[in-house]
Amino acid sequence: MAENTAGKTAEKIHDVRLEVNGVTHAVAVPARRLLSDALRQECGLTGTHVGCEHGVCGACTVLVDGRPVRSCLMFAVSAVGSEITTVEGLAEPDGSLNPVQQAFRECHGLQCGFCTPGFLTTVTAGIKENPCPTHDEAREMVAGNLCRCTGYQNIVKAVERAAEIARGDAPAAAPPEGDDGGLEAATGDAEVARDDDASTTGLGA
Ligand code: FES
Ligand code: FES
């Protein structure tokens, strides 16, 4: 490890490739750069939100090789060789919303939308593993994700509805006219100005 002129040890930078949503991102990161920060800062994928930064809130959940992972607990360099899916990559290949995104929109399973990307990734993996969750299993599926808006009733409804849509039991309903039903939050396009700020997340830093 090199020393800089001030006598401090400079952090070694690693050139790595991250496969995110089917796209290769060549990034240069220190070994300790969190995956959540690399996704947001190096890859420009700000749909992944950062709340607590210590594995509690679930807002930063992404899929790593299809499994939900808290990206604030994983180093970016550890994700090399894995396929990462963020909220921006959940939509179907034709651009339409996936069953979970459709269900959250339809059931109004979001309010401010800050927690939503983490719920969407978690539930996308959850209903793959358990395509017919009971009400209790639907609650359990999202038990590790915190929503400060206390919208859990509709979130749990959305989990059950997402499983229905994914099974093909009932077609997705169109959202009410003039209401985007939280489309931006559901796709990761929502602007969240200060999501590293405890006053915004309510979860402390
Ligand atoms: S669990 Fe990662 S930001 Fe909260
Ligand atoms: S909608 Fe969950 S934190 Fe606001």
Q: What is the pLDDT of residues 51-81, one digit of tens each?
A: 999 999 999 999 999 999 999 999 999 999 9
112 close to ligand 2 (CB < 6 Angstrom)? yes
pTM: 0.84
User: Cβ neighbours of residue 1 under 8 Å, at least 6 residues apart?
Assistant: 9, 10, 11, 12
Among all bound ligands, the one having the nearest atom to the CA of 108 is 2
Q: Candidates 60, 69, 86, 201: which one to mutate for ligand 1, based on the most atoms within 8 Å of Cβ?
A: 60
Residue 130: pLDDT above 70? yes
Q: What is the pLDDT of residues 21-57, one digit of tens each?
A: 999 999 999 999 999 999 999 999 999 999 999 999 9
Ligand 2 atom having least distance to the Cα of 148:
3
Question: Is the fold of 13-89 the same as that of 99-187?
Answer: no
Q: What is the mean pLDDT of the chain?
A: 87
Q: Where are the domains of the chain?
A: 13-89, 99-187
The mean per-residue pLDDT over the stretch 147-176 comes to 88
We find that the CATH architecture of domain 13-89 is: Roll (3.10)
151 close to ligand 2 (CB < 6 Angstrom)? yes
Residue 164 near residue 158, CB atoms below 8 Å? no
Q: What is the pLDDT of residues 104-117, one digit of tens each?
A: 999 999 999 999 99
Among all bound ligands, the one having the nearest atom to the CA of 158 is 2
Residue 162 near residue 138, CB atoms below 8 Å? no
- CA dist 173 and 152 (Å) reads 21
What is 99-187's CATH topology?
Answer: DNA polymerase; domain 1 (1.10.150)
Q: pLDDT category, 91, cuts 50, 70, 90? A: very high
Residue 200 CA, ligand 2 centroid: distance in Å: 11
The mean per-residue pLDDT over the stretch 132-156 comes to 95
Residue 201: pLDDT above 60? no
pLDDT at residue 76, rounded to an integer: 98
51 close to ligand 2 (CB < 6 Angstrom)? no
